[in-house]
């Protein structure tokens, strides 16, 4: 089991590093251009691998925390508390994997179905959005129970994104070119998940010396991404309104 987890970790790091770089290429290239579409597909496929490997690792730790993280156990360890702490932290990473997957999938589907909005109501996609909604509420509850601000913030963020995506999919009709705003928001949402997971993994070793201030680095991608998403959405909404 530990060997599998280690292999998944290597895969996760390799594809995660690629995703962190590829995320910026579609943003920097002309929207709708060949490079934008090509690198957008590369980013999406890479993020699917990141989400899958991250989710599998998290599930393994949640199922057997003291087996997977046996190196943290010594003769003075409170094993029950350690297992609880591991499950709390890795539940957050599991949700980040789900957040990244749903946003990437949603962003791709709105492009494919921009001329046939009814196709957005297919049950596999609605199920994943529902899972993101329920998971967000559970993560929020976990944060309240254990006074974990990170869980609270991303529980709220994921819940809001799930509601917005669900409303778009279930709407009987949407404004012309609304898919563009939805695509931008979902793409940035997936980037939030990718960068937060990266900092969450490495932040404890890179920023551990600053104590509680490392929390700022964990939350920064979500805050910056939310602001960027709002600004770009307003920009394109105004642009589309001017053309109509």
Q: Is the dihedral of CA 88, 91, 93, 96 positive or negative?
A: negative
89-100 pLDDT, tens digit per residue, is 899 989 989 998
Q: pLDDT higher for 111 or 61?
A: 61
**Encoded tokens for 205:** 């070793």
Q: What angle do CA 71, 74, 75 make, to 5 degrees?
A: 165
pLDDT value of position 236:
55
Asked which of 82-86, 148-152, 194-198, 216-220 is least confident by mean pLDDT, the reply is 216-220
Query: Considering the chain, what percentage of its residues have pLDDT values greater than 90?
Result: 39
Q: Given this model, what pLDDT does residue 216 score?
A: 62
Separation between Cα atoms, residue 218 and residue 113, nearest integer Å: 34
Counting DSSP H helices and E strands in the chain, the numbers are 9, 0
Distance CA 51, CA 24 (A): 18
Q: What per-residue confidence (pLDDT) applies to 149?
A: 85
pLDDT value of position 185: 80
Determine contact, residues 58/93, Cβ cutoff 8 Å. yes
Q: Which residue has the tokens 């089991």?
A: 1
Mean pLDDT, the chain, rounded, equals 82
pLDDT value of residue 84: 94
Dihedral angle at the C-alpha atoms of 217, 92, 60, 74, nearest 10 degrees?
60
The pLDDT confidence band at residue 163, using thresholds 50, 70 and 90, is: very high
Residue 205 predicted with pLDDT over 80: no
Residue 74 dihedral angles phi and psi, to the nearest 5° = -135, -175
**Is the pTM of the predicted complex or chain greater than 0.75?**
yes
SS (H, E, C) 112-148: HCCCCHHHHHCHHHHHHHHHHHHHHHHHHHHHHHCCC
Take residue 10 and report the two structure tokens written for it: 């290597």
Residue 210: pLDDT over 60: no
pLDDT in the model for residue 201:
63
């Amino acid at each position: 089991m530990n060997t599998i987890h280690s292999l998944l970790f290597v895969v996760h790091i390799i594809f995660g590093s690629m995703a962190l770089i590829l995320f910026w290429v579609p943003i920097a290239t002309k929207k709708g251009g060949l490079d934008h579409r090509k690198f957008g597909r590369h980013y999406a496929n890479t993020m699917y691998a990141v989400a899958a490997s991250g989710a599998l690792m998290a599930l393994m730790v949640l199922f057997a925390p003291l087996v997977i993280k046996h190196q943290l156990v010594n003769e003075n360890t409170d094993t029950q508390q350690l297992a609880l702490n591991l499950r709390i932290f890795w539940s957050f990473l599991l949700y980040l994997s789900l957040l990244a997957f749903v946003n990437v999938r949603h962003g791709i589907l709105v492009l494919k179905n921009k001329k046939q909005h009814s196709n957005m109501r297919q049950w596999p996609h609605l199920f994943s959005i529902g899972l993101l909604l329920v998971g967000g509420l559970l993560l929020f509850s976990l944060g309240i129970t254990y006074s974990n601000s990170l869980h609270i913030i991303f529980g709220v963020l994921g819940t809001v994104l799930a509601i917005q995506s669900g409303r778009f999919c279930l709407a009987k009709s949407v404004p012309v070119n609304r898919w563009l705003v939805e695509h931008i928001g979902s793409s940035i949402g997936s980037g939030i998940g990718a960068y937060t997971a990266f900092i969450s993994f490495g932040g404890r070793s890179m920023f551990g010396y600053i104590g509680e201030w490392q929390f700022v680095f964990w939350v920064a991608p979500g805050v910056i991404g939310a602001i960027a998403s709002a600004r770009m959405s307003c920009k394109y909404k105004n642009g589309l309104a001017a053309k109509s």
